[in-house]
Amino acid sequence: MYYTLTMAEEKELLTILSKDEYKAVLTHLKKELGNPRVQKRLSLQSDNYDQVDIDTRIRITNRKVEFIQKIGDWKNITKGKARTEISIPLQNDTKIVLDFYKIIRNLLQGTSVENIVMQYESLIWKKKEFEIKLTHQYGKSDAYNCEVEVFNHTLEPDVLASKYNIPIHLPTQTPNFWRKWNKKVNLNSDELSDEGLLEIIKRYL
């Protein structure tokens, strides 16, 4: 079996929204851009807060499984600057996904590492030069955000956000911010049994 590794440069902006802002943006984007594509995603992450330029995860998107590593400072998503994403497809098998995630967790150890289960439903408007992704995140509680990504790097994500009436509330890109966010919104895989993780993975395959 042959696996294809892909690399892409991302230039995007992330903004945190309230539930009311999420609803207002959704209404406006439907009016301006039509009906979105729906995307369901599970992200099994191991975040090392001592390495702010590396983000490693297994990502399942509409049943498609990938090993993902993003390279570039996290702060880039608040500045509309580029990061590089490396993607390797994985087999669509629950046990393989769990075992691969265990390997990642074993490789990343220490007091600065958090193992997070992130679950999303996103509404996506994709055009030739940009993509807008409006996301509802859930687990322990509900949270909302919007990503504006440009494929034409002469464009600026913040300008597009303004054009489509998307409020910009940049997350504080510090380990403390994301630790609090994860504790409030996401499940911690260290607190789940293998059976519990398998049940979650099955929902997305």
DSSP letter for 36, please: P
Paired tokens of 166: 């998307």
| Buried-state track 126-137, b at ≥16 Cβ within 10 A, e below 16 | eeeebbbbbbbb
pLDDT of residue 2: 44
95-139 confidence digits (pLDDT tens):
999 999 999 999 888 788 889 999 999 999 999 999 999 999 999
Determine contact, residues 148/71, Cβ cutoff 8 Å: no
Residue with tokens 């030739």: 128
**Domain topology for 6-204:** Hypothetical Protein Pfu-838710-001 (2.40.320)
| Ranges of each domain in the chain | 6-204
Average predicted confidence (pLDDT) for the chain: 88
Q: Taking CA 160 as the corner, what is the angle to CA 164 and CA 153, rounded to the nearest 5 degrees?
A: 160
Answer yes or no: is pLDDT of 75 > 60. no
C-alpha distances in Å from residue 13, one per residue of 17, 77, 102, 130: 13, 5, 31, 11
- For the segment 172-181, what is each residue's pLDDT rounded down to a tens digit? 766 678 788 8
User: Whole-model pTM?
Assistant: 0.83
pLDDT of residue 78: 53
